[in-house]
Each structure stands twice: as structure tokens, then as C-alpha cells.
Amino acid sequence: MKYQPLADISPYLPQWAEISRIQKLTESERLFEMHLADGEPLGHKPGQFIELSLLGIGEAPISISSPPGVENSFELAVRKVGNLTSAMHRLKVGDRVGIRGPFGTHFPVDETQGKDILFVAGGIGLVPLRSFIKFVLEHRRDYGEVTILFGARNPSEQLFLDELEDWRRRDDLRYLESVDRPDPNWTGHVGVITTLFPYIHVDPSKTYCVVVGPPVMYRFVIVEAKAKGIPDTHIFLSLERRMKCGLGKCGHCQINHLYVCQDGPVFRYSDIFDLEEAL
């Protein structure tokens, strides 16, 4: 009888993934590179998430921070905020965790080909958005102009510092950053992320705006994007903050008739603009 992974039998059953690398991003965030124990690729698309579990502790949805590629590994950036994520930060290379997924909708990687893209990331929102950014940069010739706006509360909370430096130096994209509260060494822009919009120019007829960040940020960024003429159909948001089980069973993520874990987490703004609970 041919072996069939448990994950192929039921979406409720996790499969093992082994940690191959751990990188400290900030005092609160760690980046975990891992691969499925059966050697198969995860098979995700940018913007999707997995359910990560630790025996005896629990399970939580985690955004996938790496793009799909030829390698079988994938990356998760985990912020220490509770029992499970604190336990994750105590793990070592070679340890195993449970993985279910990938789940959910994904960023418009095909629809945006040949178009300009405006990425807007606030704080830890860079974690899921990084999967799409890296995918676009790996297939740079397939896309138009690329602009990345990144805002953090303070310089110590900036993520992926090596990659940020690479984005600053590249001549095939425009990268602008800001912090709310600078430290004595900060020489860059100060202010919330929307204060960066006056410094960019977009062609609204061919620009897509992709936004991920804290809930309070969304309304204000959408106002700025619309002021640039970007239509509602070209604005995409990720609402992954509301998820729990990943299968639409617990109801934690329900917004009226939508389940974020199944109908999202990536939504086209024109499909949810009238749902006050969503933003």
C-alpha cells in the first residue's frame, strides 16, 4: 500500500516540519526556516498561512513569510506574544512542530503581472507582505514599477534589516521608510506611514496597492491610495489578524457572511468596503 501523508487524509491532522535555521530579527521576533519532514514542498502562494502546533501547548495561525520556490523550505516570522509563540522562541534547530495548511487566499501575483505595485507595510505587516515582495523581485521582469512603503513604531522594531538595506540600494524599485518615534541615531523620515504618500507618484490606471499592517492603519492608507486615484478594485488587504482554526469551523474570524480564514485572508477592497467590521 502506498504511503499517504496524514495531511492528505484530513485537513485537521498536522504533519511534521523540522526547523533548519533560526534568525533573531528583533527582541520580540524570530525567523524560522523549516521544511516538511516528508521532503515535499509546502505548496503555498504568497499571502497564505499555516496552522502551527506544539504538542501540549496549542495551535495558532502563522503567516508564511517566504515566497514559493524550487527549494522545499519555507519561512515563518514569529512574534512572542503568548504561550505558543513564547514556546516557539525556545525551540532549537532540529526541533519539530506540527503544520496544517497552507490555507486561505493569496496576493494577486498573476493579476498584477505587467502592472505597477505599491506595497504598504506597517510593523509586523511586513511579515506576510514579504512573501509577495520577494516573489516580485525574483520575477522582476514580469512586473512594472515597484514602490515599497514601510513604517515601524521605532527603529528597534524594523524587521529584516539586511533586506531593507538591499531595497534601499536597488535601482529597480523605490523604497521609503518611516518611524513614529525615532531614537537618537535615526536620520530618516519621522511620522506615520501615510506621511510618505506625498513623496510618491503613481499611475492609477496601472497601479495595484497591497496593504498589510495594524487595523488602525488600513482606513488611513486606503484614503491616501484613493486620493492617488487607485480604484477600489486595485487595492488588496490582508485581514489575517482575525483568524483562529483555519477551516471556518470556530467562527472566530466571521465577518457577516465572510470567514477570513476561508474567504481571505487576502481581500480585494471593493469586495469588503461596506463591511465596517472588516476595517
- Domains of the chain, each with CATH number or no CATH: 6-103 (2.40.30.10), 116-278 (3.40.50.80)
Mean pLDDT of 230-234: 97
240 and 50 Cβ atoms separated by less than 8 Å: no
| pLDDT, mean of residues 250-269 | 82
Q: How many residues does the chain have?
A: 279
Check residue 262 and give its pLDDT: 82
pLDDT reported for residue 250: 75
pLDDT at 6: 46
pLDDT of amino acid 258:
80
Q: What is the pLDDT of residue 73?
A: 93
Q: 63 near 109, Cβ under 8 Å?
A: no
* The pLDDT of residue 3: 41
* pLDDT value at 5 more than 60: no
Q: How far apart are CA 29 and CA 78, in angstroms?
A: 5
Distance of CA 140 to the CA centre of its chain: 19
Q: What is the mean pLDDT of the chain?
A: 91
H-helix segments, the chain = 6-9, 83-88, 126-138, 161-169, 215-227, 260-263, 269-272
Mean pLDDT of 163-191: 96
| pLDDT tops 90 at residue 97 | yes
Find out whether 226 and 232 touch, Cβ atoms under 8 Å: yes
**pLDDT of 21:** 97
Cell of 228: 492617488
Distance CA 52, CA 37 (A): 14
Contact 245, 101 (CB under 8 A): no
